[in-house]
Structure 1
Amino acid sequence: MGTNPAVVSSDPVSVAVRSVLIMADGEFADFEEVVHPEARDRENKIQPPSSRVAGPACFYSTALWLRAAFAGLHYDIHHAIADGDLVAVNSTMNGRHMAPWVMYTAEGEIDTVFPPTGRTFATTQSHWFRVADGKVIEHWANRDDMGHALQLGWIPPTPVYLARMARAKAKAKRAARAGA
Structure 2
Amino acid sequence: MTSTTDARTLVETHLAEMAAGDLEAFERSCHPAARDRDARAIGAPPACSTPGAAGFHAAALWLRGMFSELAWDVHEAVAQNDLVVVHTTMRGRHTGPLTKYSPDGVLVMDVPATGNEFTVTQTHWYRHREGLIAEHWQNSDTLGLLRQLGLAG
TM-score (norm 2): 0.92
1:17 equivalent in alignment to 2:8: no
TM-score (norm 1): 0.78
Residue type of the partner of 1:48?
P
- For the aligned residues, what is the CA RMSD? 1.3
Shift of 1:26: 4.0
1:141 equivalent in alignment to 2:125: no
CA distance, structure 2, for counterparts of residue 117 and residue 26 of structure 1: 22
CA distance, structure 2, for counterparts of residue 103 and residue 36 of structure 1: 26
Three-state SS of the structure 1 residue aligned to 2:77 is strand
Q: 1 or 2, which has the higher helix percentage?
A: 1
Match of 1:32 among 27, 36, 39: 27
1:48 equivalent in alignment to 2:24: no
CA distance, structure 2, for counterparts of residue 77 and residue 35 of structure 1: 19
Question: Structure 1 stretches (4+) deviating beyond 4 angstroms?
Answer: none
CA distance, structure 1, for counterparts of residue 9 and residue 68 of structure 2: 25
- Relative contact order (alpha carbons < 8 A, sep ≥ 6): 1 or 2 greater? 2
1:116 equivalent in alignment to 2:120: no
Shift of 1:86: 0.3
Contact 1:102 1:111 in 2 (8 A): yes
Gaps of 5+ in 2: none
CA distance, structure 2, for counterparts of residue 26 and residue 153 of structure 1: 26
1:77 equivalent in alignment to 2:74: yes
Q: 1 or 2, which has the higher strand percentage?
A: 2
Three-state SS of the structure 1 residue aligned to 2:10 is helix
Residue type of the partner of 2:32?
P
Contact 2:21 2:61 in 1 (8 A): no
Shift of 1:113: 1.3
Shift of 1:54: 0.3
Three-state SS of the structure 1 residue aligned to 2:109 is strand
Shift of 1:12: 2.5
Number of residues of Structure 1 aligned to a counterpart in Structure 2: 147
Residue type of the partner of 1:44?
A
Gaps of 5+ in 1: 1-9, 157-180
